[in-house]
Amino acid sequence: MGKRGVSRTERPASDEGRESREQELRASMGVRPMDDQPWVRGSSLDAPPPRPGMGQKWVRVELNGTADQINLLSKVREGWMPRDPATVASDFPVPTLAHGRLGNVISVVGMVLMEMPLGRIAQRNAHYEAKKKLMTAAIEGDLNKASAERKVGSGFGEIQREERSIPVREQREPRVAEDQA
């Protein structure tokens, strides 16, 4: 029972139909209950779906508060162009920024959403794949040459190669020195 003889669970008749301050605040902020939606990790780089026939990616235009013109211009030379916010459906809110040289762009934390036709992306990927094959062949050639030179009277055998991929975020156990008693 409270001070006035009314239990805390009972409300006076005058309070019926009124929402709590918390409910009023939630309603004014547009907060809806999301009990039926699964939890997903929030991302500041959520992007709208790409337009048909286009690929898109975030491109850095600023680093530590300083404009990164070199990165921006290299991406533009590759064929990436800023995506116009007018091309995004109205049901997907995007943060826009009036950028001096680029005009009105979709921008988040020093990054601008840029797009390129899928055909041109395929050409770019093929170029870098061919470049990778040339570099791999050159390395193999150098290793074979060095291995052949080592066989001739040096007493050492052929160079052993191990090819494997190591995940970038591999978790390694820390090495701890044994206590000496």
pLDDT digits (tens, 9 = 90+) for 61-93: 888 888 888 998 999 999 999 988 888 887 777
In contact, 103 and 97? CB cutoff 8 Å: no
How much is the mean pLDDT over the chain? 76
CA 137 from chain centre, in angstroms, equals: 32
In this model, does residue 106 exceed pLDDT 90?
A: no
Per-residue pLDDT at 47: 82
Listed in sequence order, the residues at least 6 apart from 117 whose beta carbon sits closer than 8 Å to its beta carbon are: 53, 54, 55, 79
Listed in sequence order, the residues at least 6 apart from 180 whose beta carbon sits closer than 8 Å to its beta carbon are: none
Domains of the chain, residue spans: 54-117
Q: What is the mean pLDDT of residues 92-96?
A: 72
Report CA-CA distances (Å) from 111 to 28, 77, 90, 118: 31, 17, 21, 21
Q: Please give the single-letter amino acid code of residue 58.
A: W
pLDDT tens, 19-38?
Answer: 677 767 666 666 566 666 67
Per-residue pLDDT at 111: 87
pLDDT tens, 116-153?
Answer: 999 999 999 999 999 999 999 998 888 888 777 666 65
